[in-house]
């Protein structure tokens, strides 16, 4: 049984890719080689080493920054669409929007002429101002992440991630 000291990540050797000849039943994969594990570990590392640092520098949580940036791009937007775009659950989006409202960065109101349960999310002038301060820093640091890869690696990674998104959205990844 492979053991590593606690607190150290287990990463597949990129020169010996465990995904190259994977069988349909996946029996040769260990949990640390699962695509979901590798992607989640990477996402957690990027959030910790990149996103959290610039969000906190400007007085925001990562969730607040993500929603603020979505509002800056898509507002006004129905609450349900914001939830879908964020990839988060309704409860987290709701809590985060309340925090953004308390900071004066957004407004959440019933849809005009609509049902009280249908909410529209809007960004305020203060929210746009905060976004304009943080976004160039975020863009620069995210570009630094991508600079770790060659142009070809970036294109392949983007294509592969979009293909996996499509597979998830189309129901191709079921137990049946």
pLDDT of residue 174: 82
pLDDT of residue 5: 43
pLDDT of residue 71: 98
Element (H, E) at 152: helix 151-170
Buried b (16+ CB within 10 A) or exposed e, 31-61: eebeeeeeeeeeeeeeeeebbeebbeeeebe
- Indicate the domain borders of the chain: 36-168
- Which residues make Cβ contacts (< 8 Å) with residue 11, sequence separation at least 6? 32, 38
Q: What is the pLDDT of residues 39-80, one digit of tens each?
A: 999 999 999 999 999 999 999 999 999 999 999 999 999 999
pLDDT of residue 6: 47
Helix 125-146 and helix 90-103, axial crossing angle in degrees, nearest 10: 120
Q: Enter the CATH code of domain 36-168.
A: 1.10.10.10
pLDDT tens track, the chain, 176 positions: 454 544 445 565 667 889 999 998 999 999 999 999 999 999 999 999 999 999 999 999 999 999 999 999 999 999 999 999 999 999 999 999 999 999 999 999 998 776 667 899 999 999 999 999 999 999 999 999 999 999 999 999 999 999 999 999 898 888 76
pLDDT of residue 69: 97
pLDDT of residue 147: 97
How many whole angstroms from its chain centre is CA 110? 27
Closest CA to 93 of 102, 83, 101, 103: 83
Strand stretches in 49-140, DSSP E: 77-78, 106-110, 119-123
How many whole angstroms from its chain centre is CA 175? 25
Buried b (16+ CB within 10 A) or exposed e, 3-12: eeeeeeeeee
Closest CA to 125 of 68, 54, 67: 68
């Amino acid at each position: 049984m492979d053991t590593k000291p606690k607190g150290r990540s287990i990463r597949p050797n990129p020169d010996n890719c465990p995904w190259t000849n994977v069988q349909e039943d996946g029996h040769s994969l260990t949990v640390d080689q699962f695509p979901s594990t590798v992607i989640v570990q990477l996402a957690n590392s990027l959030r910790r080493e990149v996103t959290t640092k610039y969000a906190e520098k400007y007085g925001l949580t990562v969730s607040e920054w993500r929603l603020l940036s979505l509002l800056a791009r898509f507002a006004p937007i129905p609450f349900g669409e914001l939830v879908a775009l964020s990839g988060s659950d309704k409860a987290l989006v709701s809590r985060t929007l309340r925090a953004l409202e308390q900071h004066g960065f957004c407004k959440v109101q019933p849809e005009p002429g609509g049902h009280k349960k249908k909410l529209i999310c809007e960004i305020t002038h203060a929210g746009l101002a905060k976004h304009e301060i943080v976004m160039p820093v975020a863009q620069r640091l995210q570009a630094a992440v991508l600079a770790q890869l060659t142009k070809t690696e970036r294109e392949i990674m983007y294509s592969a991630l979009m293909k996996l998104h499509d597979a998830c959205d189309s129901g191709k990844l079921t137990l049946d």
